[in-house]
Amino acid sequence: MDKQQVFGSSYVDMPFFAANGTAQGESRPRARRRRRRAARCGGGDGDGGDMDGGGDPKKRRLTDEQVHGLELSFREERKLETGRKVHLAAELGLDPKQVAVWFQNRRARHKSKLMEEEFAKLKHAHDAAILHKCHLENELLRLKERLGATEEEVRRLRSAAGSHGASGNGGDAADAVGACGGSPSSSFSTGTCQQHPGFSGAGQLGPDDELMMCVPEYGGYADSSVVEWFSLYGLI
DNA sequence: TTGTGTTTTACGACCTCC
DNA sequence: GGAGGTCGTAAAACACAA
């Protein structure tokens, strides 16, 4: 199989055999310890063919130069055509199969990194959306309070006008409110927002625990205001 | 020095494309 | 059918705290 082919190929006697050696290791920023696991080499892991007769370890780290060359090539093009692979392998003293494997792993790392970045970005947007929702719900509470006070004032004025015998036709704004019958606020749902004592507007919230106190539930992503918020962040 | 967590190298299985 | 891709995983190499 391929395992035997890999270690029977030319790269075995190339300079990077010294990569894990003392000189190379000491040239790196942090000294690298060598740990021998020779005892395990003979252990039957069912992975026969690890040794190429000479007791060579199964894996060898690539040298910095080899990794650098591979990195440069990867930046140019993430896919690897046959010609490029063979050329790169010859140039770096590697087996073409090693180059292919390195590119596969490098693509996987790249993808993983991209996913991490994407996750962080989405989390940031999520937190911002939660904060925005909290602001909106607190604003709603304030508006409801004002509405209640206004309705109370209207009732008071009406009763005062009624006691003076006037048949109220001057209550324009008051009528408008009154026309709503059971008050518009009755159709509002305050949701689950609990007003935080120290919360009085934007810029007051920082840590997530405050967010959690403010908005104990995380549903409602279909809310159009949240969609707007996401679009503000350029996420959709 | 050692135990443990992370990174790197390598492989097999499976899929797609030519 | 072969070459090269992704995905999942094993294991060596390595870093580092205790």
pLDDT, one tens digit per residue, over A27-57 is 333 333 333 333 333 333 333 333 333 334 5
pLDDT value for A133:
96
What are A203's two structure tokens? 């810029």
Question: With 50 as the cut, is the pLDDT of residue A147 above it?
Answer: yes
DSSP string computed for A42-61: TS--S-TT-S-SS---S--P
For residue A5, what is the enclosing H or E element? helix A2-7
Rg (CA), chain A: 35
CA of A64 to C1' of B11 (A): 23
Distance CA A24, CA A32 (A): 9
Mean pLDDT of A211-220: 41
What are A101's two structure tokens? 């494997």
Percent of the residues in chain A that have a pLDDT greater than 70, as a whole number: 44
What are A191's two structure tokens? 């949701």
Distance CA A187, CA A185 (A): 5
Closest CA to A95 of A197, A13, A1: A13
Residue A63 DSSP label: P
- Which nucleotide C1' is nearest A35 CA? C13
State which residue has its Cα closest to the C1' atom of B9. Answer: A59
Question: With 80 as the cut, is the pLDDT of residue A10 above it?
Answer: no
A47 touches strand C (CB under 7 A): yes
Distance CA A77, CA A84 (A): 10
Question: The pTM is what?
Answer: 0.56
pLDDT band at A235 (very low <50, low <70, confident <90, very high): very low
State phi, psi for A165 to the nearest 5 degrees. Answer: 80, 0
Name the residue with tokens 């606020």: A185
CA of A131 to C1' of C13 (A): 45
Taking CA A66 as the corner, what is the angle to CA A61 and CA A72, rounded to the nearest 5 degrees? 130
pLDDT digits (tens, 9 = 90+) for A100-129: 999 999 999 999 889 888 888 898 999 999
Name the residue with tokens 């962080």: A120
Identity of the highest mean pLDDT range in A6-20, A149-163, A198-212? A149-163
